[in-house]
Each structure stands twice: as C-alpha cells, then as structure tokens.
Amino acid sequence: MNRLVDMQEIEVVGVVKAQPLSVSRQGKSRIRRHLQKVGWRFAWLLFFQRLIQALGYALSLMMPTARKRLLPAWKIARERDIPVFQTREINAAAAIEFVRQCRPDLVVSAYFSQILKSEIIQVPRFGVLNIHPGWLPSYRGAMAYFWVLHNGSDRGGVTVHWIDEGIDTGEILERRSFPIPDSATQETVLMLTAVIGTRLLRRVIRRLQNGQSARNESMKLGATDEDYYHPMPGDEEFASYFQQHRFFRIRDVLGLIAFRGMRR
C-alpha cells in the first residue's frame, strides 16, 4: 500500500478490508470448525504471535519511518482520506456496490482472505490482479508460505496474476523466486513475498498504463511448473511444522521495525 500510494501515475480510490469473524453464533461456529481443523496448539501460537506483533507496532510508534511500514493498508488509506469498506463477505451486495461506486480501472487483491466471485471480478475495467505469496502454478491454494517451508524447499516464490473464477488459476503475468535461508520462518518468507510482489505489481501496472500487454512476454512456463493445489493445512501438517520451529520467532516479528527491504 505504501508503494501504491507513492506512485504518482495512479490514484488509489478505495480499500476493502476483510473483517474478522464476529462473536455471533455463525461466527463462533466457523471459528470452532477452523480450530478443529488446525488444532488448538496452533490457535494459541497464533494468539501469541498477535501479541508480539502488537508489541512491535507499539515500539514502532517511537520510530516514524518504521510505523509507516507497519501500518495496515486500511489505516494508510484513512490517513489519506481514501474510502475504506469493511466486510465479512466480499461477494455481498453491499461490498460489490462499494467497489462499483469507486469506479476502479483495476482492483488489486493482496493477501486477501476471501475468494472473489464473478460479479465483483467483472466490476473493474481491466480486471483484478492478485499478489500470490507462492510460485504458481506449483503452489496454488492456501498458505503457500506454509507449504514451501513444510516441504523443505530451498526457494520460495511470489506471483502476480489475473484473478478468474478458479483458485489461483488466472493468467500469470509476473513471478520471481528467491532463496530461503536455513533459519527462515514463515514471517521471513511473508516479508520477502510482500517486498518482491510489490515490485512485480508496479511493473504490471506500468505496462497496462503504457497500453502494453500486462504479461511479461519474456516469462515462459517450464516443464517443472507442475500445477498443484495445496489445501488449508490440518493438525498433522502443523504438528511436524512446529517441530521445525518454522512458524515465527519473536526476533522476526520485531525485526519488521528495522526492516529495510521495501526500498527500491
């Protein structure tokens, strides 16, 4: 978001934020089903991670440049008087109407937790771009950053692609791989995908503005690009993951304060 609002040649006209599940009966039921799938151990670890992230953000308030990097997109938007819409269902009529009222030429989905359906995909003139934190088509599906570590891969990836009605099946426009350090955790991989993905996104946007094909014509899919869908990991996958200590470390989360990777 910081990089997009700094691009003088574009105007960010609105932001949609996915709301967390409510404490309603339906919300509690969905939370319960999710925790049954991933296990309570993961739930407590996730809660602890959120506490550490909150601490990191509190410390960043004393460092203005770090605070700018750590702000979520919707807070950056509000500081710049950009309309923000919060929804638990992106395909609901109210959410679609908000996007229509913004009259966007392009919609960007970045680490969004919901699946967009046809009605909202068709709103923007050009379409919807997605920053996927994995190498497509080999790492389609949920939590690619989890699976690349779980599988012991020595390289991660990030892909910018058009969104269609499938799951990570739209045309690939740009992608890059990067080495994963031996000590890397999920937090590290996510930071790298955000930085690299932003650079790729800016290239795609500038090609569209220049009337060029959005696709990088020099990028060719290879014989090793197996199309594979990864589902949401379950309790068994998380159990082996915990043994590797690959989820996050406190120094990784607090390291965001000093992270300089968002420079060009």
**CA–CA gap between residue 112 and residue 87 (Å, rounded):** 12
92: phi > 0 → left, psi -120 to 50 → alpha, else beta; which? beta
Q: What is the pLDDT at residue 264?
A: 37
Q: Is the pLDDT of residue 261 over 60?
A: no
What's residue 102's pLDDT?
97
Q: Once rounded to an integer, what is the mean pLDDT over residues 126-147?
A: 93
Separation between Cα atoms, residue 84 and residue 48, nearest integer Å: 28
Q: What is the dihedral of CA 49, 33, 41, 152, to 10 degrees?
A: -80
Task: Give the range among 102-111, 169-178, 243-252 with minimum mean pLDDT.
Answer: 243-252
Residue at 39 is within a domain: yes
Token pair of 39 as six digits: 């296990």
Mean pLDDT throughout 90-114?
Answer: 94
**Does residue 204 register a pLDDT over 80?**
yes
Q: If pLDDT is split at 50, 70 and 90, which confidence band does 262 have?
A: very low
Q: Please report, for residues 3, 10, 35, 97, 229, the alpha-carbon distance to residue 200 in angstroms, rounded to integers and kept in the order given.
A: 11, 16, 34, 29, 23
Quick check: is 263 in a domain? no
Q: What is the mean pLDDT of residues 49-62?
A: 67
Per-residue exposure over 42-64, b if at least 16 CB sit within 10 Å of its own CB, e if not: beebeeebeebbeebbeebeeee
Inside any domain, residue 6? yes
| C-alpha separations of 19 from 95, 113, 218 in Å | 12, 10, 39
Question: Taking CA 264 as the corner, what is the angle to CA 65 and CA 178, rounded to the nearest 5 degrees?
Answer: 110
Name the domain count of the chain.
1
Residue type, 126: F
Place of tokens 């605070």: 67
> Would 200 be classed as within a structural domain?
yes
pLDDT on residue 94: 96
**pLDDT for 141-186, tens place per residue?**
988 988 998 888 999 999 999 999 999 999 999 999 999 988 788 8
Is the model's pLDDT at 243 over the cut of 60? yes
pLDDT (mean) for 220-242: 79
Taking 60 as the threshold, does the pLDDT of residue 263 lie above it? no
3-state secondary structure of 231: coil
Q: Tell me, what CATH number does 136's domain have?
A: 3.40.50.170
Tell me, yes or no, whether 264 lies in a domain: no
Contact criterion met (CB below 8 Å) for 89 and 82: no
Is 25 among the domain residues? yes
Q: Check whether 25 has a pLDDT greater than 60.
A: no
**Is position 139 within any domain?**
yes
Radius of gyration of the chain from its Cα atoms, rounded to whole angstroms: 19
Which of these ranges, 61-75, 105-119, 146-160, 171-185, has the smallest mean pLDDT? 61-75
Taking residues 70-89, report their average pLDDT. Answer: 90
pLDDT value at 241 more than 60: yes
Tell me whether residue 34 is in a domain. yes
| Containing structural domain, residue 89 | 2-258
B/e letters for 154-187, b = 16+ CB within 10 Å, e = fewer, are: eebbbbbbbbbeeebbbebbbbbeeebeeebbbb
